[in-house]
Amino acid sequence: MAARAPAPTRDLLSRLESLGDENRLRLLTLLDRNEFTVSELVSVLQLPQSTVSRHLRVLADDGWVRRRHEGKTRFYRMEGVLEAGARELWQVTAGSLAGARWAVDDAERAESVLAERRDRAAAFFSESSAEWDALRDDLFGSDARFAALFGLLDPEWVVGDLGAGTGTLANMISPFVKRVIAVDRSPEMLAAAAVRLGERDNVEVREGELESLPVDDGELDLAVLMLVLHFTVEPGRVLAEAARALAPNGRLLVLDMRAHDREEYRETMGHLWLGFTEDQMRDWTRSAGLEGYRHLPLAPEPEAAGPALFAATARKAVCTTKTAKTA
């Protein structure tokens, strides 16, 4: 009877076998870059749902992909913590796929799927700018946006109100700081903000994407994401951009929903994420290069109809590299 192969060898052979199918390679190429649902993968790959689900099961069983549930929706992404051998195997494999005949087509369809996600949130804002303040107050309470903010304000700070909407936060904090930069992607929201902020000479309104901020490196002392992160396709990328815009020892403040199961918010309000867990936020801020993460669940206001909130803070490290003295 032949000797049994050691477990790591069997694992490696299994991983090699799971990479031996073109459709699974297409799936991994997509999931290494972004997170997708099964229906989105069906749209990108133009394969039957049963085929996509079958290949995802194989990849999940072999440790290549992970699943994440939000309400009734299941998201898939490449496993973030592959052991060294598997990561090296995938790097070699991925490098050989750059010229594959399907690579460009899949990438274009994937971008269309991600654009459709962004458009769902943008459509909600475009149609609801006039009623946005009242709608948000009904969900979360009129003071929830500011509950964790006042202790952070410094009169010399430049503050970034990222996802500024109609300018409520920028208008409230501008008397207490040196300057406020209010950023939003929606022209309708910014038009409403311009009216509200007309008399604030230390507030600058800028149109732009949170994933690619119109803010210079190190321009901000405080970056605030107030009830906006759940509208973004890639929260980790948004947090990384906020970190880039922070000066050394600059602070990040996030106020958003705790993870919940109100699936209807996807359709009625354009939410892309059903809140966030502390582990998600901690991992994203760490990947963005921020430190000192602090996560504070907030007590719900009695009149608030929406999910419970949390406040999260982190800071950008101060560079301590020493410069050699010259004679």
* Order of strands across the sheet that contains 290-297: 203-207, 179-184, 158-162, 220-226, 246-257, 309-316, 290-297
Give 92's contacts (C-beta < 8 A, 6+ positions apart). none
Same domain, 149 and 267: yes
Same domain, 49 and 140: no
Residue 159, SS3? strand
Instruction: Note whether residue 325 is domain-resident.
Output: no
Label residues 12-47 b or e (16+ Cβ within 10 Å = b): beebeebbeeeebbbbbbbbeebbbeeebbbbbbeb
Same domain, 49 and 156: no
Question: What does 194-236 look like in DSSP terms, one character per residue?
Answer: HHHTTT-TTEEEEE-BTTB-SS-TT-EEEEEEES-GGG-S-HH
Give the pLDDT score at 224: 97
Question: What does 250-287 look like in DSSP terms, one character per residue?
Answer: EEEEEEEEBP---TTHHHHS--SSS-B-HHHHHHHHHH
CATH number for the domain harbouring residue 275: 3.40.50.150
Same domain, 307 and 225: yes
Instruction: Note whether residue 258 is domain-resident.
Output: yes
Count of domains forming the chain: 2
Same domain, 308 and 258: yes
Instruction: Note whether residue 82 is domain-resident.
Output: yes
- What phi and psi values does residue 48 have, to the nearest 5 degrees? -60, 150
Instruction: Note whether residue 120 is domain-resident.
Output: no
Give the pLDDT score at 130: 64
Instruction: Note whether residue 56 is domain-resident.
Output: yes
Query: In the predicted model, is pLDDT for residue 75 greater than 50?
Result: yes
Same domain, 80 and 149: no
148 band by pLDDT with thresholds 50, 70 and 90:
low
Question: Measured between alpha carbons, how far is 280 from 75 in angstroms, rounded to an integer?
Answer: 14
Question: Measured between alpha carbons, how far is 175 from 201 in angstroms, rounded to an integer?
Answer: 10
Top-confidence range, 18-27, 145-154, 171-180, 289-298: 289-298
Same domain, 50 and 147: no
Question: Measured between alpha carbons, how far is 325 from 327 in angstroms, rounded to an integer?
Answer: 7
Give the pLDDT score at 198: 86
- What phi and psi values does residue 258 have, to the nearest 5 degrees? -70, 160
Domain final residue, candidates 100, 121, 141: 100
Query: For residue 169, what are its two tokens?
Result: 């936060």
Same domain, 234 and 285: yes
Same domain, 172 and 254: yes
Owning domain of residue 191: 130-316
Question: Measured between alpha carbons, how far is 278 from 313 in angstroms, rounded to an integer?
Answer: 12
Give the pLDDT score at 322: 43
CATH number for the domain harbouring residue 48: 1.10.10.10
Tell me the pTM: 0.63
Please identify which residue in the block is written with the tokens 């800028």.
Answer: 206
Distances (CA, A) of 131 to 8, 182, 272: 59, 20, 20
Query: For residue 25, what are its two tokens?
Result: 């390679």
Question: Measured between alpha carbons, how far is 164 from 193 in angstroms, rounded to an integer?
Answer: 8
Instruction: Note whether residue 166 is domain-resident.
Output: yes
Q: Cα(first)–Cα(last) distance of the chain, in Å?
A: 75
The tens digit of pLDDT for each residue in 109-134 reads 888 888 888 877 777 776 666 676 66
Query: In the predicted model, is pLDDT for residue 323 greater than 60?
Result: no
Give the pLDDT score at 305: 85
Query: In the predicted model, is pLDDT for residue 15 greater than 90?
Result: no
Same domain, 287 and 216: yes
Instruction: Note whether residue 299 is domain-resident.
Output: yes
Give the pLDDT score at 85: 81
Instruction: Note whether residue 111 is domain-resident.
Output: no
Domain final residue, candidates 47, 79, 100: 100
Give 308's contacts (C-beta < 8 A, 6+ positions apart). 257, 258, 260, 297, 298, 300
Same domain, 219 and 279: yes
Domain final residue, candidates 84, 100, 116: 100
Query: In the predicted model, is pLDDT for residue 325 greater than 50?
Result: no
Same domain, 74 and 193: no
